[in-house]
């Protein structure tokens, strides 16, 4: 929604907004762009002469701002529908969908197009470091969008991505998630089928080889071209550095180029292949795309190094699903070798808080030397068979931070994972380490 606000402002509209619990980097960029931001929901802050109210999917009936809009008959729409109706109609939309990797892949794709001189617009659910903003209009027909399967709004229970009508579509992977709105994987697959139905016959769908959940979606019907990832007759990567920082790109067995970059992990190599394939569909040769990715600087909150004090490195990562947690840790392990990794996790997504992934949570943390889970009292579950020697559970954040600081040693890598602000734990740890170093 913050990105939608930026785009509306760029189109010349006067924009203000309300939200709860807004934190950097989104809050910072909204203020920098001159968008008035109200903390909390207050009907009196809605301008009386408002032309249109754009309502995000986090708001439900009973919210005071929502009730005010409905009671007064104010015109309203959803963020996804506003984007589809007012911005994407005349654009070549490149959409990145899937359970994991959407943000990173969309950021890579936008940067490849930018580096190739194609000046794309984009809307991404984080801040790509190369751009410094989560959204922009762009100067050409090309528009990259992170295509989320979450529902659109309280009045529109279709997935947001059905509003985008992409010509180039990446489906990175497909697993069960969003248990608060989807009863099972089949319900998510049905929404992906609706997305596939919107891709034109001259469009392209890029997806991994032999992923049953995606194959089942495409078996429901596919009317567009397809290119496969990790397939001999499609796109492949030859890993040239164990941590994923150097790899070659192959199309149908023929080498297209090499990428040397600061990213790590096999998951990011997979993301890169998808971005290269989508960019090629839009007209960027694969060798040019490889050159562009070599200067890709990553995404804020995606294994982002927040600071180093006394030889202790602290990273911030958005991981919110066991698969994403495991792949992020695997990439960091390959980078740091035998150095200690301390993983700190806040199960904050709705699905995590419901305990849906509790059986997979501890196995996903296995690559860490020690793990710290923040499980506040309102959560009514704990991961089964947890080993206190490897995993410590805390219901108070202050106690977790105190224990973590007591066990931290120079040379450690602390990976903090949450899809929220996590009580500012990153900076609190850095400040505490600085203070102890000064004493």
pLDDT at 439 (0 to 100) = 59
* pLDDT, tens only, 278-306: 999 999 999 999 999 999 988 877 778 88
Is 91 exposed, middle or buried (CB count within 10 Å of its CB: 0-12, 13-18, 19+)?
Answer: buried
pLDDT at 360 over 80: yes
Write out the two tokens for 407.
Answer: 């066990």
Contacts of residue 367, defined as CB under 8 A and 6 or more positions apart, other chains included, come to 326, 329, 330, 332, 333, 341
Residues 6+ apart with CB under 8 A from 408: 312, 342, 414, 433
- Could you give all domains of the chain from N- to C-terminal order, each with its CATH number? 2-80 (3.40.50.720), 88-293 (3.40.1190.10), 304-438 (3.90.190.20)
When mean pLDDT is compared over 186-190, 263-267, 354-358, the highest value belongs to 186-190
pLDDT reported for residue 281 = 98
Q: Is the pLDDT of residue 381 over 90?
A: no
| pLDDT score of 352 | 73
Average pLDDT over every residue of 409-416: 93
Mean pLDDT in residue range 199-209: 97
| Residue 438 in this model has a pLDDT that exceeds 70 | no
pLDDT at 353 over 80: no
Q: How confident is the model at residue 376 (pLDDT cuts 50, 70, 90)?
A: confident
Question: From CA 346, how far away is CA 361, in angstroms rounded?
Answer: 11
Residue identified by tokens 């809307």 is 123
Element (H, E) at 315: strand 312-317
C-alpha 300/C-alpha 140 separation (Å) is 25
């Amino acid at each position: 929604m913050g990105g939608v606000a930026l785009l509306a402002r760029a189109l010349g509209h006067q924009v203000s907004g309300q939200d709860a619990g807004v934190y950097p980097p989104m809050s910072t960029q909204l203020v920098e762009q001159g968008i008035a931001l109200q903390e909390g929901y207050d009907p009196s802050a809605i301008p009386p002469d408002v032309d249109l109210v754009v309502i995000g999917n986090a708001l439900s009936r009973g919210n005071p701002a929502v009730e005010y809009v409905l009671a007064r008959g104010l015109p309203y729409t959803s963020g996804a529908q506003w984007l589809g109706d007012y911005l994407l109609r005349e654009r070549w939309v490149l959409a990145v969908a899937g359970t994991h990797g959407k943000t990173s892949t969309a950021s890579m794709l936008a940067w490849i197009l930018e580096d190739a001189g194609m000046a794309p617009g984009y809307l991404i659910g984080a801040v790509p470091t190369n751009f410094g903003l989560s959204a922009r209009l762009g100067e050409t027909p090309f528009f990259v969008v992170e295509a989320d399967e979450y529902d659109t709004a309280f009045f529109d229970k279709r997935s947001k991505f059905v509003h985008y009508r992409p010509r180039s579509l990446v489906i990175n992977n497909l697993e069960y998630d969003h248990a608060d709105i989807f009863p099972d994987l089949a319900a998510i697959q049905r929404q992906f089928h609706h997305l596939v139905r919107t891709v034109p016959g001259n469009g392209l769908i890029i997806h991994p080889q032999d992923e049953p959940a995606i194959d089942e979606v495409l078996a429901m019907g596919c009317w567009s071209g397809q290119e496969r990832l990790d397939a001999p007759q499609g796109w492949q990567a030859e890993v040239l550095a164990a941590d994923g920082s150097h790899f070659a790109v192959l199309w149908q067995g023929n080498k297209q180029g090499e990428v040397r970059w600061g990213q790590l992990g096999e998951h990011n190599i997979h993301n890169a292949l998808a971005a290269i394939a989508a960019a090629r569909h839009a007209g960027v040769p694969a060798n040019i795309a490889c050159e562009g990715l070599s200067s890709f600087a990553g995404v804020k909150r995606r294994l982002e190094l927040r600071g180093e004090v006394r030889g202790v490195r602290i990273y911030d990562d958005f991981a919110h699903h066991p698969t994403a947690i495991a792949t992020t840790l695997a990439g960091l392990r390959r980078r740091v070798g035998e150095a200690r990794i301390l993983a700190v996790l806040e199960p904050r997504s709705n699905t995590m808080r419901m305990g849906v992934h509790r059986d997979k949570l501890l196995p996903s943390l296995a690559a860490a030397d020690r793990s710290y889970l923040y499980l506040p009292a309102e959560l009514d579950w704990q991961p089964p068979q947890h080993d206190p020697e490897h995993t410590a559970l805390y219901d108070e954040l202050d106690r977790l931070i105190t224990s973590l600081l007591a066990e931290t040693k120079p040379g450690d890598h602390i990976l903090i994972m949450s899809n929220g602000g996590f009580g500012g734990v990153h900076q609190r740890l850095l400040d505490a380490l600085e203070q102890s170093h000064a004493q």
